[in-house]
Amino acid sequence: MRVLLVEDDADLAEIVALGLRNESYAVDVAATRAGAEELLRTTRYDVACFDLGLPDGDGLDLLRGLAGDPGLHRPRRSLVLTARDAVADRVAGLDAGADDYLVKPFHFAELVARLRALARRDGEHGSILRVGELTLDLAAHRAWRSGVPLDLTAREFSMLRHFMHHPGQVVSAEDLLEHVWDAHANPFTTSVRVILSRLRRKIGDPPLILTITNAGYRLTAP
């Protein structure tokens, strides 16, 4: 899952982004409205987390503008992260298009839980994913094949999660880069082919992720 974090507090942005990456999210960070718009013009995000008090504008205006600007890719889900805690502020945020509203200061565990809840609105059922022999516990960050634990890195876990969200479908390398990687990643050391090779090896035989020539990859599903 790829997340856009719009936060002008550099220390907070660094802490939250690092924590989310450790939870297997791909995270891009923007400190201004202009920076967020630049990223939204080129990248499709699963979730965007918006601070409201930005140095070059209000995050609410950015939220409202997503629906009317065809040049911006509207995130599938939006979450407001702000110190504004009045009821009127919450109502304004939700009316502007946010799917959820979290007041600062917040516990990181609650933020991650809310991201999981937003993902469930797009088809997930609870924190457990099951496809054939594979089981993924999103909350505990654990994976198994036929009951045998899989020792996965954060990137491998994120890739497997994306495949399990699309069982039986062909997933292109470009799609994996879009949702599993972020601007922080080094494409020369963490390429799709390298991570996929490691993931396949850890999942074991018989292979469950097949290569579809000139198209991408597919997780076999019963």
Report how far residue 116's alpha carbon sits from residue 126's, in angstroms, rounded to the nearest whole number: 8
Spell out the residues 6+ positions from residue 201 whose beta carbon is closer than 8 angstroms to its own: none
Residue 184 contacts residue 158 (beta carbons within 8 Å): no
Structure tokens at 110: 């609650």
What three-state secondary structure class fits 45? Answer: coil
In tens, the pLDDT along 10-60 reads 999 999 999 999 888 989 999 999 999 999 999 889 899 999 989 998 888
In tens, the pLDDT along 35-46 reads 999 999 998 898
Look at residue 68 in the predicted model and tell me its pLDDT: 79
Question: What integer is the mean pLDDT of 152-163?
Answer: 92
Report how far residue 24's alpha carbon sits from residue 18's, in angstroms, rounded to the nearest whole number: 10
In tens, the pLDDT along 66-109 reads 877 889 999 989 999 999 889 999 999 999 889 999 999 999 99
Structural domains in the chain plus CATH codes: 2-120 (3.40.50.2300), 128-219 (1.10.10.10)
Per-residue pLDDT band at 221 (split at 50, 70, 90):
confident
In tens, the pLDDT along 162-202 reads 999 889 999 998 888 888 887 766 655 558 888 999 999 99
pTM attached to this predicted model: 0.74
What three-state secondary structure class fits 52? Answer: coil
Look at residue 112 in the predicted model and tell me its pLDDT: 93
- Residue 170: which H helix or E strand, with range? strand 170-171
Tell me: pLDDT of 130 over 70: yes
Residue 182 contacts residue 2 (beta carbons within 8 Å): yes
Structure tokens at 130: 């099951």
Q: What is the largest CA-CA distance in the chain?
A: 56
